[in-house]
Each structure stands twice: as structure tokens, then as C-alpha cells.
Structure 1
Amino acid sequence: MSELSSGYRPGTVAVITAGNEIDGALQKRLQRAGLRTQLLAPSELEQLRPGSLVINASACADAQPEALQVARLLAQNPCAHVIHLSSYQVFAGGERRHYDEDEAAEPRARCGRQWLTCERALGGLDHLTILRFGWVVDSSRDALLGRVLHSFVTGEPIALDSCSSGNPVTALDLARVVVAVSQQLASGACASGIYHYGSSDSCTAMEFALEVVERARSFYDEERLVQLNPLEDSGKRRDRSVVLACGKLRDVFGIQQHSWRQGLTRQVELWLERLEAER
């Protein structure tokens, strides 16, 4: 599809991939929006077309060994605009309030420092939009959804955080938000800066797991014993809550928050089919 027929300038969006389901979700949504999509692994940046709008998802990989190098290279590339996907983990957390974009990012954990270092490596770009997301609900085996359903099927106990709250985001909802921002930027919007997005309702990992188990039980006739245990006594454990305030994204781009519960039953069904097939 040409730039003339699509109405977008630029008409090409390059996605620096994460190597997980975020890539496919972004590709499908971008193509549905009429944007030509170029998927590039972090090691393929030399193939980046000049003047592209770039979505950098490389920091969303399960491991981030190349994310900082990608950020440094993009900082030197003549892109039309860079949308960098980042995380709530840039905040240390622990306070029962909503964290907005003006909050000082002071991560204590190593992964949080990595996220922030990537943001800062891109900081010199004039046309940069940073999208920080709540924790991502995905279908990888080691992610929370997969671990909870594995416990449900096998009866093995699982320890979960019952103290720290966040506003999770499904991979499909993440793609919805990123593509909506991409469309507006490719239509001439000038909206550089940092924006937050998370689901409209917050929860702890334990609350998320209880909801997943309730959906899973609906597919079985017999009652199943599920052992969901708190990680530690809540009185001794440090609260790491980070609930993102998302008003700026709504006010600038008109993007509304969705609940993490939307589509959860279907995700649970697909996971159960996968786990039963493996038994």
C-alpha cells in the first residue's frame, strides 16, 4: 500500500521486535490500520528504511541483552519518529497512589534500571514518544497466567504476591494502544513525551490468579483444588505497588483504558487446551 493511498506519512512503520507475542499482535493491528509494516530483529537495524516511524519493542523481550544497543543506534538514526515501549518498573513503587509521568523514575531493581537506561539512551531525540505499560499479561509458559493455569491443572502449589498492586495489560491491548498512537503520529500529530497506560482496574498477582482460576473452573464439571499461597507474610513484605495514572494518554491521544478482564476467558481456554494436550 502506498503512502498516497494510505493517507499516512510516513506510510511505513518499522517494529523492532521483542521476540514474543507482542510482535504478532503489533503486526496484525498495524496491517489492519493500513500501515505497511517492517519487522526487524534487534540485530537487523541496518535494514531500517530511512524516514520510518519506528516502534521499538526490543526492551519487552524476556531478556534484554540487546535493548540498550538498539536504543543507542536509534538515537543516531534519522527516523521520522520513535515510539519506545517501556515499563512501570522504572519506578521503585510501594506507595498506594497512581504514578503519573512527572514522577521521578528511581528504580531499585536491576530490571528497572535497565528499562530506565534504555529510555535515557533515546533522550536526545526530538521526535520521541515513550509509552510505559503496566505488567504485561502474555501466554509464555513462565508468565503469571501460564504458571497459575499449570498449578490449576497439576494441583501443584504456587506462591504469589498478595501485597503489591499494578494495572496489568494484555498483549492485545498493548498493541491497540501502540497502533492508535502510531496512527495519530503518522497523521501529523506532534505529541512527543512520556505517556502511561495500564488497565482500568488494578490488582495484585493473587487477585489476578483468583480471577483466572474462577474462569478455568467454568470449563470443568468437577471441583479442582488449587493451592494459591502468599509469597510471605504481608506484614513483613515490602509493598512494590505501581499503579500507573493514564490521564495524559487519554487527554492527548483520546485512548481509553480497557480492563485486563476483557478476553480473559478465551485466553484461559486456549491455555487449558494447550496444557491438557501436553499431559
Structure 2
Amino acid sequence: MILVTGASGQLGDALSRRLTARDTPFTAVQRPAFDFEKPETLTTSFEDARPTLVINAAAYTAVDKAETDQAAAKACNHTGPLALAKLCEAADIPFIHVSTDYVFDGDKGAPYLESDPTGPTGVYGATKRDGEEAILATSAKAIILRTAWVYSAHGKNFARTMINAGRKMPVLRVVADQHGTPTAAGDLADAILAIADKIEATGWQAAYRGIYHATGSGETTWHGFATAIFENAAKLGYPAPEVQPISTADWPTPTRRPSDSRLDCTKLKQVFGVSLPEWRATLPLIVSDLMDT
């Protein structure tokens, strides 16, 4: 039995769809039944599911709001996941936890390795970093996957925001000096389940424990991502707006975003034989689904 948290989110939804298609026994939980700000709900959900594996796809992801909503961000990204890891530790089962590229400041100038020093620039990144460290301070069978720029046809994300904005405005201004890699939620879900399959096939190995980077392959900027979205929309017959490149300074936000948060995903391939598709490969299908909503 797999317990999936954050069922209403992009990744939780993708995991639920795939587990259903695979006819794999699972329980997917979300608020209010499962709420990191209400610790008692974690224990209840865990005891009800009696899982053999937990995948934590729940998180506080409102990057700018976290600056003033620090208690909730800490509960959802640090203390809550730690409590869940301890439940897994006590049950002696694997725990797969999803983290973020925002644990880095983006100043390296090259793709980040798992071993690189962290340096979050805001509360969101700091709480995610603190959650990582707290989980690894336990003896839980923990796998932490840092990902980035997640999007899908479900929920709120950059792709949906762009398409909705493009329907209303003929010209969009999009930041062109922040570098990273879009990651389709479905591709990330496939990677997580491939890891789960490997664990099931081999049994837990001590070498599995630790942090891994898991994003789509390749790289781009937010402007490049937006341009690709509208190129695909145009192929479906939808009019595309003009996408103008701007700098981060032209679009100030409460939290400084990493200027270059590319992640090196070599370790994931070496240990689990898993790599996510090139980011452009999955984009057309998701754009098609988004245009129909």
C-alpha cells in the first residue's frame, strides 16, 4: 500500500492517475483529512493507510506569500514532513519526499550537484532546505527528490497562467534571465514510481538514502518556456500573443528567485537508472489539454 500526500496538487494528481492505471493499491490524502498544520491528522492518515511506502507530494509552494506566512510554510515544508518521516522511520518503510531547486541561490553558473552548498534566498526555499536537513537527521529510509518548474494540465502553474494571460492580452512580458528546466508533473510521477519499483525489486539498499535531483532534461528560461508554450498552442490553431523578454529587475517580486537553478540529474540515473524526458517532449500534450480547459 502506497500513501500519497498532497492528492489535490499537480504531482499528487499525476501519481494518483498512474497508480490507478497500474492497479496498484494506494491511498491518496489531502486537506482537511491530511494537514501538516494539524499534526494529529498525519498520524491518523498513516495509521488508516498502513502503508509500505510514503510519497510526500504535499508542500507549501506559494513562494512570495511564504515571506509573510512563515508559520504555515514551516509546518508544511519542515516540521510536517519531519513528523511524517519519523512515522516512516518507526514503521521501517521508505519515504520519498519532494523538494525544490529553491534551496539554491542560483549563483553557481552551472547545474547544481546534490553535494553543492545550499543558499536559499527566501522563506520558501529556507523551509524546504530545513525540511531536507531534518529528514536526513533521522534514520528514516528517506529519498529526497529536488525538482523544479513543475507544470501540468491540473492545478495552478506557469503554463496555465501563460495560456490564460495569452487569451486576454496580445503582448506578454516574461522574464528571460532566469534559467532552469520545466518538469512535467506526469514525468516526475513516472520517475518516482520507477524508483518505487526499483526498491520493491531489490529491497531497500542503504545506498538509496539521500538527495537526488529530478527535473526534465535540457534547459531554458521562463521566456523560452512561454515561447514554446505558445508555439505549441499555435500548432493547434490558437492565436499566440507576442512574448517580449524582460529582466528580473523589470518584474520585481517579494522573493528573489534563483537566476540559474539548473539541476544536474546524473546521480538519479546512476543509482536508479531513471532520467526524465527532454522538457519539450511532454509539452505539446499538456498544452493541448490546457487549451481544452
Same fold (TM over 0.5): yes
3-state secondary structure, aligned to 1:243 = coil
3-state secondary structure, aligned to 2:18 = helix
2:164 corresponds in structure 1 to 150
What is the one-letter code of the residue matched to 1:76? K
Q: Give the direction of change, closer, same or farther, for the CA distance of 1:156–1:29 in structure 2 (3 Å limit).
A: same
3-state secondary structure, aligned to 2:96 = strand
The equivalent position to 1:215 in structure 2, one of 224, 232, 237, is 232
Q: Does 1:184 align with 2:198?
A: yes
2:267 corresponds in structure 1 to 248
Shift of 1:207: 0.4
Q: Report Cα offsets for 1:144-174 as digits up to 9, x if no partner.
A: 1122212322225433220111122101001
Retained in 2: the 8 A contact 1:88–1:132? yes
The equivalent position to 2:109 in structure 1, one of 93, 96, 102, is 96
3-state secondary structure, aligned to 1:244 = coil
Quick check: which has more Rg, 1 or 2? Answer: 1
Aligned-residue sequence identity (percent) comes to 25
The equivalent position to 1:206 in structure 2, one of 198, 211, 223, is 223
Q: Does 1:26 align with 2:15?
A: yes
1:62-141 equivalences under 5 Å are 62=62, 65=73, 66-67=75-76, 68-77=78-87, 78-79=90-91, 80-123=93-136, 124-139=138-153
Q: Give the direction of change, closer, same or farther, for the CA distance of 1:232–1:87 in structure 2 (3 Å limit).
A: closer
Shift of 1:37: 0.5
Q: Does 1:259 align with 2:275?
A: no
The equivalent position to 2:212 in structure 1, one of 171, 195, 212, is 195
2:244 corresponds in structure 1 to 228
Retained in 1: the 8 A contact 2:121–2:257? no
Retained in 1: the 8 A contact 2:177–2:248? no
Q: Give the direction of change, closer, same or farther, for the CA distance of 1:164–1:71 in structure 2 (3 Å limit).
A: same
* Greater share of residues in helix: 2
What is the one-letter code of the residue matched to 1:132? R
TM-score (structure 1 length as normaliser): 0.83
Q: Extract unaligned runs of 5+ from structure 2.
A: 36-40, 67-71, 251-255
Q: Does 1:38 align with 2:48?
A: no
**How far apart are the structure 2 equivalents of 1:73 and 1:36?**
24
3-state secondary structure, aligned to 2:196 = helix
Retained in 2: the 8 A contact 1:92–1:109? no
Q: Does 1:159 align with 2:173?
A: yes
**How far apart are the structure 1 equivalents of 2:249 and 2:45?**
51
Q: Report Cα offsets for 1:238-279 as digits up to 9, x if no partner.
A: 9610111111110110012311212322222222222xxxxx
2:45 corresponds in structure 1 to 47
Q: Report Cα offsets for 1:20-55 as digits up to 9, x if no partner.
A: 132121122234445311112333321314462111
Aligned residues: 261
Query: Which deviates more from structure 2 when the two are superposed, residues 49-58 or residues 237-246?
Result: 237-246
TM-score (structure 2 length as normaliser): 0.80
Q: CA RMSD in A?
A: 2.6
Retained in 2: the 8 A contact 1:56–1:82? yes
